[in-house]
Chains A and B, each alone.
Chain A
């Protein structure tokens, strides 16, 4: 969805280009968070619970609610606990936001619509997305609050445990596509054939169904969404590592939560659902249509993520660890093994 076409960018000075890219992501990130927050948190959850959600702000179904909330948060007093480690406390939300921010850079939204088409795109995306653990730990530690500390420790254990199945689930896709570049993976799916029939390509969800489910489960944990929301568990730890945050700092946490959901859904859409590719559409048309298609796929995956979130109860921390180490990781290793064998056979 970004418009930094590398072919056109040759003439533009490096600094200006970088600034433009940063600005694009900076506008995109809150926008996606707003869209997810409004569509799923405000409206879908409300209707699933026999409610309407906000209806008044903005006139039409309360579309302005979240923007209004954001404005409110910015106005709020910046409250910091007396015993807080002030610098770390202030830095933590930034780090979490930055880790999300960088992921956006590698997701392709069209043949030329990508901020940075890295050769190791998927590796890079998964690596930087796990940076948020550091932010969470910093937030929990600096808050000088026992609930926050418990939440942060839970988050650290959980995010590390789920980083592994997340990466392992992707390995199957990488093996099948033969590249780590996200554009390459989209291309591999577009040109793929299902038993010799290549009209719609081969979205890897068909051949990597296990990997897809594993990826979604791990992403759910990575995003600390129910049933894996122990770090913030409001009925146990009140709000976990976020408990002492208010105003715009808290807004950063929320924004990064939804933006990360969007980013991970984007990666899932790219890896498993064919990304921006639309059969039969090439060139500039794909640059226009691609973002829309990708957006639709992201919304579909986000729907599943949030649907699960609004339905299920929460695991206990030890159950979560058991699930990661006893089920998801062996399963993903098996998936890699089978993919490898099939790759060799066919």
Chain B
């Protein structure tokens, strides 16, 4: 027998109460748990949806299946140890995660990294942006049902990951930033290799454009789906490409300059649509833009040391600092409070995906189940970035 009403009631009583899910069930509605184990939630997000047929009446995302308590862990660790931890927040662009934390530390200490280190940091940040977005460009295809793009995404991301690995020693968790600079300079031949790979990135963007972005079925599935008006997005703290796809011209790389971005001339891509397709389109353009930034920066890489003079044991003087940067997934910030010890006193991690996903209950009202998947995919969150 299929699910009887009694069984359903028992299920609700048992499971929903436990997780404190705010979904009230009425007649003829069905509660469907999308996740925590579901291919579309790339990780352990659980979206409890109340369905009327295939239409979502109410949705309540349940997060925390991956909560690792980083804010607590940082309080028990020294600054170099924290760097190791935080690049596991958004593991697809982990280098970019390290930068704001290191910046916060440098800001309180009053240290500035040498220009060469700043340039290399910028290049690596943009490389991790490319890596993240290339995966998204393929992943989005997989979520709307095309099997092939995701393989191209993984393949092309590999080029970038190889670069990151050659420079930092780690594909996913570089741990390359130090307060005051970088662990080491890049190895010989790395710049030439990076230039070569950027050509492949441009090629890869063309592939995605041909394969998916212009595909009529893809358009039908994504155009007008999951529209986030700019104002609503801002109220929820949606950031990054998601906000730019809603027509808000807001990019911290340009508007709150950090690293070497003031010295680069780049375009901030926006799209007035606000729908899933716009988010795809904006990320596609930003991938190209990031590759351009990388090439541009490599042309003007200054020479010199990559490490400023810092004490051997880093003790950050008392103070607090809020540093936010434009990560691939959106605004990522660290509010670091120091009391003069070798470790931070309190670190508030403002991760982009947490806010990006918090709009889901608003966004998912009245959509169909397949659109729900499209919206989840187009918001592009990383579970580690939501749960921290």
Interface residues, chain A, with chain B CB atoms under 8 Å away:
45, 48-51, 83, 85, 141-144, 146-147, 149-150, 226-227, 229-230, 233-238, 309-319
Instruction: Give Cα A45 to B152, complex, Å.
Output: 12
Residues of A within 8 A of B38 (CB): 238
Q: Tell whether, in the assembled complex, residue B3 and residue A314 are in contact, meaning their CB atoms are under 8 Å apart.
A: no
Contacts of A146 in B (CB 8 A): 3, 30, 32
Instruction: Flag whether B211 is at the interface (Cβ < 8 A).
Output: yes
A149-B2, A233-B370, A236-B40 known; A313+B212 contact, CB < 8 A: yes
Q: In the complex, A150 Cα to B220 Cα: how many Å? A: 22
Q: Mark B190-216, 1 if CB is under 8 A from A, else 0.
A: 000000000000000000000110010
Known: A146-B3, A235-B39, A316-B370. A50 touches B220 (CB 8 A): no
In Å, the complex CA distance between A229 and B142 comes to: 13
Closest Cβ of chain A to B102, distance in Å, is 36
Asked whether any CB of chain A lies closer than 8 Å to the CB of B369, the reply is: yes
Select the stretch in B143-151, B230-238, B239-247, B284-292 that faces chain A.
B143-151
The B contact surface, by secondary structure, is helix
Decide: B146 and A314 in contact? CB cutoff 8 A.
yes
Contact A312 B146 (CB under 8 A): yes
Given known contacts A50-B151, A146-B3, A234-B39, A311 and B146 CB-to-CB distance under 8 angstroms: yes
Chain B nearest CB from A302 CB (Å) reads 17
Contact A236 B373 (CB under 8 A): yes
> B1 near A: Cβ within 8 Å?
yes
Contact A313 B373 (CB under 8 A): no
Tell whether A313 pairs with B3 under 8 Å between CB atoms, given A50-B151, A50-B155: no
A286 CB, nearest partner CB in chain B, Å:
39
Q: Contacts of A235 on B, CB cut-off 8 Å?
A: 39-40, 142-145, 373, 377
With contacts A83-B3, A235-B39 taken as known, whether A310 is within 8 angstroms of B147 at the C-beta atoms is: yes
Across-interface contacts of A238 in B (CB, < 8 A):
38-39
Tally of contacts, chain A with chain B, CB under 8 A:
96
Contact of B217 among A49, A147, A227 (CB under 8 A): A227
Given A235-B40, A313-B218, verify A227-B3 contact (CB < 8 Å): no
Q: A83-B7, A236-B370 are in contact. Are A144 and B220 (CB under 8 A)?
A: no
CB distance from B241 to the nearest CB of A (A): 20
CB–CB A49/B369 < 8 A = no
A257 to B146, CA, bound (A): 18
Contacts of B373 in A (CB 8 A): 235-236
Interface string of B148-169 (1 = CB under 8 A from A): 1001100100000000000000
Q: Is A226 in contact with B370, judged by CB distance below 8 angstroms?
A: no
Question: Which residues of chain B are within 8 angstroms of A315 by Cβ–Cβ distance?
Answer: 217, 220-221
Query: Do A229 and B152 form a contact, CB below 8 Å, given A236-B369, A236-B373, A313-B212?
Result: no
- Given known pairs A149-B2, A235-B373, A236-B369, the reply for A313 and B141 (CB within 8 Å) is yes
Q: List 10 A-B contacts (CB under 8 A).
A: A143-B2, A144-B2, A146-B3, A146-B30, A233-B370, A234-B39, A235-B377, A237-B369, A238-B39, A314-B146
- State in angstroms the CA–CA spacing of A144 and B218 once bound together: 32
Q: How far is the CB of A303 from chain B (nearest CB, A)?
A: 15
> Measured between C-beta atoms, what is the minimum distance from A225 to chain B in Å?
11
Complex interface: chain A residues within 8 A of B368 (CB): 316-318
CA–CA, A59 to B3, complex, Å? Answer: 47
Distance to closest chain A CB from B1 (angstroms): 6
Q: Which residue of A lies closest to B156 (CB)?
A: A50
Determine which of B7, B217, B369 lies in contact with A314 in the assembled complex, contact meaning CB atoms within 8 Å. B217
Whether B54 is near chain A, meaning CB under 8 Å from some CB there, is: yes
User: For chain B residues 105-154, which have a beta carbon within 8 Å of chain A?
Assistant: 141-148, 151-152
Q: Mark B24-45, 1 if CB is under 8 A from A, else 0.
A: 0000001010000011100000
Give chain B nearest CB distance to A310 CB in angstroms.
Answer: 5
Q: Are A229 and B145 in contact (CB under 8 A)?
A: yes
CB pair B217 A313 closer than 8 Å: yes
Shortest A92–chain B CB gap in Å is 13
Asked if B148 contacts A310 (CB within 8 A), the reply is yes
Cα distance A309–B9 in the bound complex, in angstroms: 40
Task: Give the 9 A-B CB pairs with smallest separation, nearest first.
Answer: A314-B145, A49-B151, A313-B146, A313-B144, A313-B145, A316-B370, A235-B40, A235-B143, A313-B218
Q: Which residues of A contact B147 (CB under 8 A)?
A: 45, 49, 226, 309-310
Asked if A314 contacts B1 (CB within 8 A), the reply is no
A311 touches B148 (CB 8 A): yes
What's the Cα separation between A134 and B220 when bound, in Å? 30
The complex places the Cα of A150 from the Cα of B369 at a distance, in Å, of 10
Residues of B within 8 A of A317 (CB): 54, 368, 370
Map CB proximity to A onto B361-388 as digits: 1 under 8 Å, 0 otherwise: 0000000111101000100000000000
Q: Is the CB of B370 within 8 A of A230?
A: yes
A50 CA / B218 CA spacing, docked (Å): 22
Across-interface contacts of A227 in B (CB, < 8 A)? 145, 217
Contact B2 A51 (CB under 8 A): no
Q: Which of B30-67 contact A (CB under 8 A)?
A: 30, 32, 38-40, 54
In the assembly, what is the distance between CA of A234 and CA of B371, in Å?
14
A238, B3: Cα distance in complex, Å: 18
Tell me the bound Cα distance from A319 to B220 in angstroms.
8
Residues in B neighbouring A233, C-beta threshold 8 A? 145, 370
